[in-house]
Structure 1
Amino acid sequence: MTGSATTPGGAVVAVFSDSPVGRRFLLLHSAEFPVGEAGDWAWGFPSGCREPGEDIDSTAARELDEETGISGDLTPVRTHDVAWAIYYLQVPWGTPVQLAPGEHNAYEWVDRDGALSRLKPATLVDSFRLVLHAIG
């Protein structure tokens, strides 16, 4: 059952990099909002819904590639008994980002506190906290 508590209906991927001034997380700004606007779902991580017959690992990898042009070996954080699976990927500093036209209109690499202040609603913050715990 897609979207049930046992089978994730989609996946989110937190991408991070160790910059010269510390760890930075990639946030995408939804094209549904004017550039710079804040609020629920304005800023988030690459994410998307599972397609019929697609396993959740493939969903995460596909969405990351479609939304950012980034690929790599994703590390699962939580993939069972959740509505949305959570993954992370560490990339080298300077990795190029190619936004999907029409889905996102901006991106930023922000520190932990910057991410915590922009991510809304609480469900995004909760996912991010799980990633922070997983990466140490």
Structure 2
Amino acid sequence: MSYKLNITETWDGLPITKEKPYGITIVTFRRDESLTEYLVLHRVHRKKSSGNRWAWGPPAGARLPQEDVYECACRELEEETGIKGFPQETNFPVKEWKVYYLEVDYDISISLSEEHDDYKWVDINTVEKICLPRLVFEQVDFVRKLKNL
């Protein structure tokens, strides 16, 4: 599987590494005995009213030049959600974008960055409906299968 990155800088103008992986996704989830929910964030530069499904996705972001991949995952997670955690690496088959996961407590507090204006906890079916490109759903579904959620 391959993924082409068509951007050279982040939404706020920072340069993106030219080395793979170009960025990371942290599939963040919580669960109880009967339900698993995934955290999705709404990008502020996408209008909610437009129906633009590219606007929703898990915490994710581009890697800066010379930035360690794991440090990028921790940085993006904290910047976008306020969560200080230790995400676990997966072997997701797309080499251009690294996928991590983090299970959090059910009552964790989310603190959004200026990049996002909303968040919600949703089931896997909703992830498939609201998150694009399809690769985003595939990342979440990969973690769901990996962790038997």
TM (norm. structure 1) is: 0.87
| Structure 1 residue matching 2:24: 3-state secondary structure | strand
2:144 is aligned with 1:132: yes
Which ranges in structure 2 are unaligned for 5 or more consecutive residues? Answer: 1-16
Gaps of 5+ in 1: none
2:3 paired with 1:9: no
Question: Going by fraction, where is strand more abundant, 1 or 2?
Answer: 1
The alignment partner of 1:78 has SS state of: coil
Shift of 1:81: 6.0
Instruction: Quote the offset at 1:38 in angstroms.
Output: 3.3
RMSD over aligned Cα atoms: 2.0
Question: 1:26 aligns to what?
Answer: 39
Q: Where do 4+ consecutive residues of structure 1 move more than 4 Å?
A: none
How big is the shift at 1:32? 1.3
Does the CA contact (< 8 Å) of 2:92 and 2:139 recur in 1?
no
Q: Match for 1:109 among 121, 128, 131?
A: 121
Number of residue pairs matched by the alignment = 132
CA contact (8 A) 2:43 2:116 kept: yes
2:11 maps to which residue? none
1:119: which partner in 2?
A: 131
Measure, in 2, the Cα distance between the counterparts of 1:129 and 1:3: 27
Counterpart residue type for residue 86 of structure 2:
D
Alpha-carbon displacement from aligned partner over 1:104-134 (angstroms, at most 9, x marks no partner): 1110001111111111111112212211121
Q: 1:20 Cα deviation (Å)?
A: 6.8
Q: Identity over aligned residues, as a percent?
A: 31
TM-score by length of 2: 0.80
